[in-house]
Amino acid sequence: MSGSGKATDGQSGLDARGVGRLDRPLCQDQRVVLFVAAMLVGLVLLALASDQFVAGCSRLASSFAVPPLLIGVVVIGFGTSLPELLVSVVAASQGLTDIAMGNVVGSTVANLTLVVGAAALLAPLVVRGSTLRREAPISMAGIVLLAIMLQGGVSRIEGLILVVAMALALTLILVPASRSPTLVDDDEAEEPGARPGRLLEVGRTLLGLVGTLAGAQLLVWGATSVAGELELNEGFVGLTLVALGTSLPELFTAIQAARRNAVDLILGNVLGSNLFNVLAIAGIAALIEPAVLDERITQIAAGAMVVSGLAVFVMMRTGPRVVRWEGVILLVGYATLLPFLA
């Protein structure tokens, strides 16, 4: 009996070892590499798919004779914020409110410092009169409003207020600008002969939307998993890794535009993207899941967001352009901020 018992124990031990060899859990380093790889794949999907989504939407809007103003402000403005929107919505739907709001605040700070700074380093950024009159003050007001609401968390009522404020902001931008046909440059419009068929553009748009959603899922999963493995605060992950990742499309676009000396729309596009971030995306995320937030977001990051917005606003007013040395200040400011978020 005892021999039989030993044999059984030995066999079960062999089985256990055999199973262990087949299903052995990954060590921490391997898991971190896997999660970082998921984040990178998610970022690539976000960048490529959101670009296709914006292109599809723009060409569909042009084919249906939608006014260029609406394409420039609504379609492009919404499209460049699509990665932030889907990442924050996915995070909020999973109860990860620190990542959802951290992404919004971190992306806004990155747009104002990293994106504007990098672009200004390559070429001085021209400030349009319409940007100074409309987008800049309205964007600054939205930043201050969100910073105030972040204190103590963002409730569903406050989320609704942010969404309503977005509608009001669009009205304030679109109604006066509708009298000026020069909001969108002629070279931004698609030439009629270059437009593919509508069916192709519908497919491009849907594929871009699905790809962006998949990228957002991968990015959120990878980021939260890395945070868990390395015992990082989710607010820190949202403010840095996720926010930087979702700001990459704006960064690449701004750098390419600066390299080609097409700088007159960079600031307007950044401010428009930030307006969607702080009002529409933050509001929608709060409506999905009221946010109870880490102090890194309510104090340090919210303060950095307001200071960054004021810095860029002052630079635009004194120019009217953002020059290289001001770009260096913005980049140094972003690098200096990161350790305080850890």
Question: Does the 27-341 domain belong in CATH 1.20.1420.30?
Answer: yes
**Who contacts 19 (Cβ-Cβ below 8 Å, separation ≥6)?**
none
Domain spans in the chain, listed from the N-terminal domain onward: 27-341
- Residue ranges in the chain assigned as alpha helix (H): 2-23, 28-63, 68-70, 77-80, 82-93, 97-110, 116-122, 129-130, 136-150, 156-177, 198-230, 234-237, 243-259, 266-275, 282-288, 295, 302-318, 324-341
Residue 284: pLDDT band (50, 70, 90) is very high
Please tell me the pTM assigned to this model. 0.75
Query: Between these two residues, 254 and 77, which has the higher pLDDT value?
Result: 254
State pLDDT tens for residues 221-272. 888 788 778 777 777 777 887 887 778 777 777 777 777 776 666 787 788 8
Predicted pLDDT of residue 17: 43
Query: Between these two residues, 96 and 268, which has the higher pLDDT value?
Result: 96
DSSP SS3 for 128: coil
Predicted pLDDT of residue 166: 94
